[in-house]
């Protein structure tokens, strides 16, 4: 009887370990499919919003996103527009681009930064406003969620704060 109890105990322990290892793989897929069927979406504050237009340059692209406006009065994130340069491998060493943020055909700001090929290099961006829509930025890194520059894979993301 003792031997049967020990054997059953070890069998249950092995089964428990197998379920603990395989279970999350199964349940993750189930939960992912269930979440996809709902209308839940990631907040634009985290994704940067939706692309509004793409500007083609010699060998690279600039994607200007729709503005992400501050919705909650106590939210720590201010309104911003996300701009993405891609691919980093095709960018010139120094970027200084006039950018039209609102799509009216006139540049709203000039965005300047050094596009280092080193993925670990610290990035700094300067934004000079040309209209009242944009707040200035001077040598900003990852200061806040609404005013930053960051390298993400083969892109450089800049978030320009709005007034």
Angstrom distance (rounded) from CA 149 to CA 140: 7
Does residue 51 surpass a pLDDT of 90? yes
Provide the edge-to-edge strand list for the sheet that holds 94-99: 94-99, 109-114, 125-129, 137-140
pLDDT for res 70:
78
Q: Please state the separation of Cα 86 from the chain's center in Å.
A: 14
pLDDT tens per residue, range 125-161: 999 999 999 999 999 988 787 889 999 999 999 999 9
- For 48, which DSSP code? -
Burial class (CB in 10 A: 0-12, 13-18, 19+), 137: buried
CB neighbours (10 Å) of residue 1? 5
* Confidence category of residue 4, pLDDT binned at 50, 70, 90: confident
Nearest to 156 by CA among 75, 68, 97, 104: 97
Q: What is the pTM assigned to this prediction?
A: 0.75
Angstrom distance (rounded) from CA 9 to CA 15: 10
pLDDT tens per residue, range 72-128: 666 667 899 999 999 999 999 999 999 999 889 999 999 999 988 888 889 999 999
């Amino acid at each position: 009887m003792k031997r049967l109890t020990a054997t059953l105990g070890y069998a249950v322990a092995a089964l428990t370990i197998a379920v603990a290892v395989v279970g999350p793989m199964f349940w993750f897929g189930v939960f992912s499919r269930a979440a996809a069927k709902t209308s839940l979406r990631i907040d634009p504050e985290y994704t940067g919003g939706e692309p509004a237009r793409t500007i083609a340059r010699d060998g690279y692209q600039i994607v200007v996103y729709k503005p992400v406006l501050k919705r909650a009065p106590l939210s720590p994130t201010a309104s911003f527009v996300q701009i993405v340069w891609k691919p980093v491998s095709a960018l010139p060493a120094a970027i200084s681009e006039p950018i039209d943020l609102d799509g009216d055909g006139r540049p709203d700001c000039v965005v300047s930064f050094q596009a280092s090929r080193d993925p670990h290099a610290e990035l700094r961006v300067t934004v000079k406003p040309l209209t009242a829509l944009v707040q200035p930025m001077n040598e900003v890194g990852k200061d806040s969620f609404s005013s930053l520059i960051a390298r993400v894979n083969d892109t450089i993301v800049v978030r320009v704060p709005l007034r």
